[in-house]
Structure 1
């Protein structure tokens, strides 16, 4: 993996259709990074595969329950994936994202496992943590939003066909994604959509015990992820450390 001082890892062969995203990813040397990568079966920074744990309460293998989040890697979205506008380069994205990151302070984020709709995810325990992540994501979007390519008419129509509120439709048109600013809810996805309630409950219970061991997330950096070509797995391209700051409860 390239270091923070390098610009582009030349081993990445990105197409003109590559998408970039700004995510929260736990620090590489943290227990949270190891736990999440093991759960999803792979480290998208190193490219190393992992063997997921297998809770005794599950009939199906974890790998069968995590197909959707596995392609994106272990993360929580701050700025959703976007293609670059004409004239915007990966270097430009990196420079702007790094400048934003250096203005952020680190903080601690207590989390819990919960069912969100028909999938399981980590989410902030307290409203204060939710607000801190919303503020972080909103600032990042304002920084990077101008680098996003305008969606095609067909893509825009497809996205607008989804069941959205008027507010979400307006955000989608202006910012390319409906769940931003006041509609943003930070989460780290732990499963695909699961129809069986018992499976969702078993995952929540297993992660409840795991969270007790791992403690709060430390939000001390962000990371640029790249989808090299449509449909390919995302890779973690660059980590973006925040400035040195107090780490306290959010």
Structure 2
């Protein structure tokens, strides 16, 4: 059996570590969004497949027996394409999709469907902390008139895509205490994040609760109609089931 692990999340790293100790020939794939990603415990390829036909060719030439998709909840193009092609080629596919975040009584959250909608409820002059990462940043261009701070892992190769914005470098994980101190120093008025879910990146939401900062959460894009699990343990159970 040869398994393709579509990686890029903390869950994928945990899965790769477990798979390295199992009698499975595993190859992981990273899309290349981060310049210096953390090492995985299995053979890893970097970069895209070259579109749908490239992915199809990879599955065939590498004799992939199954695909476990543990990409980010917002990597919807990868997930939709992978699920569709696996279905067409009769290659078993499963998606690990962690549950989204839900507000607690003391939270002040606003949900929205598209980046451009954030400007409709964030007042001009506000200091906005974007925890959404640099991908898709240009879609927030109508936030001009606010001070926009976008945190990213890698140093930028190009200027900020619209006036009034600046980058802040930082590599997770970040503790709640670190985020509280940062938001206080920056005098943040709004926190904008993708509803990624998971415990690893929740600290910024907890910090916003401590400080009473309103949060705008970008809703998840559509996901594939395919077998789905929510935890690393269930994903590994699916893999083990393929061995029987």
TM range (shorter): under 0.3
TM-score w.r.t. the length of structure 2 is: 0.24
Q: Which has the larger radius of gyration?
A: 2
